[in-house]
Amino acid sequence: MVGFGANRRGGRLPSLVFVGLLVVIAVLAFNCWSASSRQALLQEEVAELQSQAKRTEVARGRLEKRNSDLMGKVDSHRKQLEQKEADYGRLSAQLQARDAQVKKCEDSKVKRGLPPGPGAAGA
């Protein structure tokens, strides 16, 4: 008796389904290969960016150190300038006081009738 399943080949898949499965496997394999190669490129890029970040951080540290050294020099020069300005003010005040004393002395000599000193030769 030949039944409904008489035309079936025993245990074989139809060739169209088999070819379809092979195409799906090929597409999946290509996608996997593509993704892995892309991942490798991205890992290389990440490694390059990390090394660049490390170099940048080292350069930044050097620049910060140089900046702090220069700021220290600026502060020391500012202190020296302030000290010299203070010395100048003090010496200027002393000079004015001595000039006043010289003027007073010359005025007293003139009142007594003595000739002016060598500093007043042109007067």
**Confidence grade of residue 116 (pLDDT, cut at 50, 70, 90):** low
**44 vs 38: CA distance, rounded Å:** 10
CA distance 53 to 51: 5
Confidence of residue 108 (pLDDT cuts 50, 70, 90): confident
Q: Give me the residue label for tokens 């799906």.
A: 24
Q: Please give the structure tokens belonging to residue 83.
A: 């000290």
Give per-residue pLDDT as tens, 53-100: 999 999 999 999 999 999 999 999 999 999 999 999 999 999 999 999
pLDDT value, residue 95 = 95
Average pLDDT, the chain: 88
Task: Take residue 104 and report the two structure tokens written for it.
Answer: 């007073």
Cα of 83 vs its chain's centroid, Å: 33
For residues 33 and 29, give the distance between their C-alpha atoms in angstroms, rounded to a whole number: 6
Using pLDDT thresholds of 50, 70 and 90, give the confidence band for residue 18: confident
What is the pLDDT, as a whole number, of residue 110?
83
Question: Residues 110, 116: contact at Cβ < 8 Å?
Answer: yes
Q: Where are the domains of the chain?
A: 11-111
